[in-house]
A and B are shown apart, each in its own frame.
Chain A
């Protein structure tokens, strides 16, 4: 595997024998549902997996949560705090799992924090250099959903819209749902701009869970031959 830039000091990319699959997409695009289905599928087929996501680090995730409640971080501070969280997981979960040969599924990766910085007016080069220590994934899925679906799923799941995921810090609109729509549109534009640059595989996330998952499995299978012929035959017979 390779790093985008010089990588983490002392980490040898040659020793990373696992695979890294990233799932990106707006809030409510179905990332976590899809990842849990992929985990089951991969493990059924005998592949060890590890999962990771944003704001889950042992080091700072609780502190970020507290700071977010206060709504008092500047955009640069916010970006650096999130980067700390990301790097902690990169070094303590992603790299060790890749070294052990596991398939790592990342529920968002560096692209969400880069997009968040970009929509807030931060410099692209600064953001890219900041995240250049990250390892280049094998596959990057981008679940593309219409914003009305994204709003529906958010309201169904947590019965309110999140302050930050609605970009309320940016002063885009007076009420949270207008702000959410505007913010998610801007994030979506940044993801679309990034698609070519980083080689995203764009998946239509408006379709059913099973259809989206089938689509992703096909891509993963093509890249890594997850379902061996023998297993497929067994499955067909038993099915």
Chain B
């Protein structure tokens, strides 16, 4: 992974299973930064315009293999990295990323891709200054995702792997594998673990404490120009 020494900005990433509450937490963090006049940018997994159509079509027609699924996500990441992350990091912003390369490692390896191969795809990405992992038990994750919806999408459920004919069962097996991969990653990359079963407010207090401790936030305030509030 690239060293992050030449970057003046700061990169904070959140990781966790679907339903771990990480998106809620990163949004609350963003609000806090905004209200403190801190330069902040946000990017989320699988959102680049460049690959959107290919991704949608591939999913709809079920064209993906684990290798091509992995590569198209890496393409998406590279595009967002060079457009949405690096320029902001170089301009001294705090960049918040909802999922980072660890998601690729967890999911692709959960689908049987070789971990060294996946690591190599993402080796241009800088090491985040703060990487948070929201840990929740598998059952809680499944319950949260299933709550209020009755359909799990084909690839989300890992149905491409043929684990099970039943979508919920397949989802459980696949998420179990992803969860195992995540635990290896947490150890290898020393991600900071947050207990995702705690109340939202309590988790956010922990997150803010971690951030304040490792980043001197004063340095990231807007200077000179007045921020336009949207």
Contacts and interface: CB of A to CB of B under 8 A. Distances in A.
Interface of A: 5-6, 8-10, 58-60, 63, 66-67, 73-74, 76-77, 80-81, 83-84, 87-88, 91, 126, 129-130, 132-133
Interface string B115-150: 011001101100000000000000000000000000
Nearest to B67: A87
B120 A60 contact: no
B117 A76 contact: no
A90 to B, nearest CB: 8
A132 B114 CA distance: 11
Contacts, number: 83
The 5 closest A-B pairs by CB, nearest first: A63-B54, A9-B112, A84-B71, A80-B75, A129-B120
A76 B124 contact: yes
Q: SS class of chain A's interface: helix, strand, loop or mixed?
A: helix
Contact of B67 (A74, A91, A129): A91
A64 B46 CA distance: 17
Given A84-B72, A88-B63, A133 B117 contact: yes
26 contacts: A6-B116, A6-B117, A8-B65, A8-B67, A9-B113, A59-B54, A59-B58, A59-B63, A59-B64, A60-B51, A63-B53, A66-B53, A67-B50, A73-B79, A74-B79, A74-B82, A77-B79, A80-B71, A81-B51, A84-B54, A84-B68, A87-B67, A88-B65, A88-B68, A91-B68, A132-B117
A9 B121 contact: no
Contacts of A81: 50-51, 75
Contact of A10 (B57, B112, B123): B112
B66 interface: yes
Given A9-B114, A66-B53, A80-B71, 5 more contacts: A5-B114, A73-B50, A76-B124, A84-B54, A91-B67
B117 A87 contact: no
B185 interface: no
A73 B80 CA distance: 11
- Which among B63, B82, B120, B124 has the highest number of chain A CB atoms within 10 Å? B120
